[in-house]
C-alpha cells in the first residue's frame, strides 16, 4: 500500500533529504557545504558585539533569568556562558544577518544559511554530532529550502511582502535538524509541515527604517528546531502545507506556486552549488549596480591612484547624472522607499542602490566602512545621490531571477556617456570568486574575534568534515 505522506511532493522531498549520507554526496557538494559553513560562521564572527544583538541577549535573559551553566555556546563569545539551543540558534542567526554578508541563493531569493547553519550547529553541538553529520544536514537543508523557495515563485512571494529568507529558512532549519536527529522520511515530512504552519517574516521593516530584519532568520532558526522536536515526539504536520487549497502557503504567500519545482532535478541538480557569495556588505540587489559603477569609475579617473579628495572632486565635477536600470524586485527593494532615497541609518544605506552607486564612484569601494552612522551623513555622498536615478528595466525584470542584472549609464559634463551592463554580480555562481577570496573574506571577519589568527581559524574550519565533534569557537 502506497504511503500517502511519502508520495506527496513535500514527502518525496523529505524522504530524499532524510536519506542523504556524506559518503554518497558528490565531491563538489561536499566542498560547497564546507565553504558555505565557513562563509556564514565568519560573517557571524565579524558581527560579534553588535549592540542590537547584545540587547537581545539581555531581553532573553530577562525573559528566562535562570543560571546559564548548561546548553550551547555562541560563536565568538565566552565559552562559559551557555544558552538553550533555541536561544543560541536565534542569536547566532541574528548575527549572521547583521552585516549583510551572508550568502544568497538567487533562484529562490533566500539567505538560507543565516538561519539553517546556526540551527544545525547549535543542535549538533548539543547532540555531539560529527563534522560530517553536520555538513550532510546542511546539504539536506539547502536542497529542501531552496526548492520550496523556487516553488513559491520568487517575484510573487516578494510582491506580497514576504521575506523568503525567513519563510523558506524555517524549512531549511527543520530539514537540517531532522537529519541530525535521525528522523526518517515521514518524520522529516511532519517537521516540514509543522515548520510551514509556523513560518513567518515580512519586509515591513524596510519602509519603517526599523532594525528588526535580523529577527526574521533568528525566528526561522528557532522555529525550525522547535518543529523538529515536536515531530520527533509525535506531532504530525500537514503534508500539503504548500499546495493545500485551504490554508496552503502557495495561496497565502504567492500566486499559486509551482509544486513541480519541489522535486525537479532532485538528486541530479544540487542547489547548494548555485549559491552566490557576497563581496559587499549590503543588499544583493545592489551588487550588480555597484560592480557597474566601480568599472565606470576607472573609466572616469583612469588607472592611477588618487587621494580621496582629488578623486571626489573630479567625480563631482565631471558626473552630470547617473541612471541605473534594474529588475523590478531590485528597484522596489532598493530604490523606492524613503530610506532608500534618503538613508538615515546604516541599515537604510544597505538597502539603497543610489547610496551604493555613490560610494562606488566616490570611494572606489563598498565595504563595512561605508555603513557607519557618520558615513551615511557624508556630504559628498549626499550630493552625488541627488544626481542618481533608478528605474525598472522591463528586459531585466523578464530575466529575473535567473539573472540579477543592472545597467549603469553615466552622463558627463562634457556630454560623453559611459555605460556598463552587469548581467550577474561578482560572486554569483556564474562568476564565482576563487577560494582565496573566500579565505581572505573569512580571515578579515574572523580577525574581529581572533586578532592575528583569522587565517588560522579559517583554515581550521575548512576541515570541519574531519572533526569527530563540532568545536566550540
Pair 247, 335 in one domain: no
Number of folded domains that form the chain: 2
- The predicted pLDDT at position 65 comes to 83
Pair 322, 416 in one domain: yes
Pair 50, 112 in one domain: yes
pLDDT mean over 351-378: 96
pLDDT band at 422 (very low <50, low <70, confident <90, very high): very high
Pair 233, 304 in one domain: no
Question: Is residue 434 assigned to a domain?
Answer: no
- The predicted pLDDT at position 441 comes to 97
* CATH number assigned to the domain comprising residue 333: 3.30.1330.120
Pair 236, 323 in one domain: no
Question: Is residue 472 assigned to a domain?
Answer: no
Cell of 117: 547553519
Task: Determine the Cα–Cα distance for residues 226 and 322; give it in Å rounded to an integer.
Answer: 49
Pair 97, 192 in one domain: yes
Pair 263, 338 in one domain: no
Give yes or no for residue 160 having a pLDDT over 50. Answer: yes
**215-258 per-position pLDDT tens digit:** 999 999 999 999 999 999 999 999 999 999 999 999 999 999 99
Pair 215, 291 in one domain: no
Pair 451, 346 in one domain: no
Q: Give buried/exposed letters for 26-46 (b at 16+ CB in 10 A, else e).
A: eeebbbbbbbbbbbbbbbbbb
Query: Taking all residues of the chain, what is their mean pLDDT, rounded to a whole number?
Result: 95
Give yes or no for residue 1 having a pLDDT over 50. Answer: no
Give yes or no for residue 73 having a pLDDT over 50. Answer: yes
**383-405 per-position pLDDT tens digit:** 999 999 999 999 999 999 999 99
Task: With beta carbons less than 8 A apart as the criterion, state whether 123 and 177 touch.
Answer: yes
Pair 153, 265 in one domain: yes
- The predicted pLDDT at position 2 comes to 58
**247-305 per-position pLDDT tens digit:** 999 999 999 999 999 999 999 999 999 999 999 999 999 999 999 999 999 999 986 66
Pair 260, 296 in one domain: no
Give yes or no for residue 360 having a pLDDT over 60. Answer: yes
Q: Give buried/exposed letters for 53-77 (b at 16+ CB in 10 A, else e).
A: beebbeebeeeeeeeeeebbbbbbb
Model pTM score: 0.95
Nearest to 324 by CA among 385, 369, 383: 385
Contacts of 309 (CB under 8 A, 6+ apart): none
Question: Is residue 438 assigned to a domain?
Answer: no
pLDDT mean over 157-163: 95
Give yes or no for residue 375 having a pLDDT over 60. Answer: yes
- The predicted pLDDT at position 305 comes to 64
* CATH number assigned to the domain comprising residue 150: 1.10.4100.10
* Domain housing 215: 4-279+443-466
Question: Is residue 430 assigned to a domain?
Answer: no
Lowest mean pLDDT among 89-103, 196-210, 396-410: 196-210
Pair 211, 294 in one domain: no
Q: Outline where 182-284 has alpha helix (H).
A: 185-198, 204-208, 215-232, 249-253
Question: Is residue 265 assigned to a domain?
Answer: yes
Amino acid at each position: 500500500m502506497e504511503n500517502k505522506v511519502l508520495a506527496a511532493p513535500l514527502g518525496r522531498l523529505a524522504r530524499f533529504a532524510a536519506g542523504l549520507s556524506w559518503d554518497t554526496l558528490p565531491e563538489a557538494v561536499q566542498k560547497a557545504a564546507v565553504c558555505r559553513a565557513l562563509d556564514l560562521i565568519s560573517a557571524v564572527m565579524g558581527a560579534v558585539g553588535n549592540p542590537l544583538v547584545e540587547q537581545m541577549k539581555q531581553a532573553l535573559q530577562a525573559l528566562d533569568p535562570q543560571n546559564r551553566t548548561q546548553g550551547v555556546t555562541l560563536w565568538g563569545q565566552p565559552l562559559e556562558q551557555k544558552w538553550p539551543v533555541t536561544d543560541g540558534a536565534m542569536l547566532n542567526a541574528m548575527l549572521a544577518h547583521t552585516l549583510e554578508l551572508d550568502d544568497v541563493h538567487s533562484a529562490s531569493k533566500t539567505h538560507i544559511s543565516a538561519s539553517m547553519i546556526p540551527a544545525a550547529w547549535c543542535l549538533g553541538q548539543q547532540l555531539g554530532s560529527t563534522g560530517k553529520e553536520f555538513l550532510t544536514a546542511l546539504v539536506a537543508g539547502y536542497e529542501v529550502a531552496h526548492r520550496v523557495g523556487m516553488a513559491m515563485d520568487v517575484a510573487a512571494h516578494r510582491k506580497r511582502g514576504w521575506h523568503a529568507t525567513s519563510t523558506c529558512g524555517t524549512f531549511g532549519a527543520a530539514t537540517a535538524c531532522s537529519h541530525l536527529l535521525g528522523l526518517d522520511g515521514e518524520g522529516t515530512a511532519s517537521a516540514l509541515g509543522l515548520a510551514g504552519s509556523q513560518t513567518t517574516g515580512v519586509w515591513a521593516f524596510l519602509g519603517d527604517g526599523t532594525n528588526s530584519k535580523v529577527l526574521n532568520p533568528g525566528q526561522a532558526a528557532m522555529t525550525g528546531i522547535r518543529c523538529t522536536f515536536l515531530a520527533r515526539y509525535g506531532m504530525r504536520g500537514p503534508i500539503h502545507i504548500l499546495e493545500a487549497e485551504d490554508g496552503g502557503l502557495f495561496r497565502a504567500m504567492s500566486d499559486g506556486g509551482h509544486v513541480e519545482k519541489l522535486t525537479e532535478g532532485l538528486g541530479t541538480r544540487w542547489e547548494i552549488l548555485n549559491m552566490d557569495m557576497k563581496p559587499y556588505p549590503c543588499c544583493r540587489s545592489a551588487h550588480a549596480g555597484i560592480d557597474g559603477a566601480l568599472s565606470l569609475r576607472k573609466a572616469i579617473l583612469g588607472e592611477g591612484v588618487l587621494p580621496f579628495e582629488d578623486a571626489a572632486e573630479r567625480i563631482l565635477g565631471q558626473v552630470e547624472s547617473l541612471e541605473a536600470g534594474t529588475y523590478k524586485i531590485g528597484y522596489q527593494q532598493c530604490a523606492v522607499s524613503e530610506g532608500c532615497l534618503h538613508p538615515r541609518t546604516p541599515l537604510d544605506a544597505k538597502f539603497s542602490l543610489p547610496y551604493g552607486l555613490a560610494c562606488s564612484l566616490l570611494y572606489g569601494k563598498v565595504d563595512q566602512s561605508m555603513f557607519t552612522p557618520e558615513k551615511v551623513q557624508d556630504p559628498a555622498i549626499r550630493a552625488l545621490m541627488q544626481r542618481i536615478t533608478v528605474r525598472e528595466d522591463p528586459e531585466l525584470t523578464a530575466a529575473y531571477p535567473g539573472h540579477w542584472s543592472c545597467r549603469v549609464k553615466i552622463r558627463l559634463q562634457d556630454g560623453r556617456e559611459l555605460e556598463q551592463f552587469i548581467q550577474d554580480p561578482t560572486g554569483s555562481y556564474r562568476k564565482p570568486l576563487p577560494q582565496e577570496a573566500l579565505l581572505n573574506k573569512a580571515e578579515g571577519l574572523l580577525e574581529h574575534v581572533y586578532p592575528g589568527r583569522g587565517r588560522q581559524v579559517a583554515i581550521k574550519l575548512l576541515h570541519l568534515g574531519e572533526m569527530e565533534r563540532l568545536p566550540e569557537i
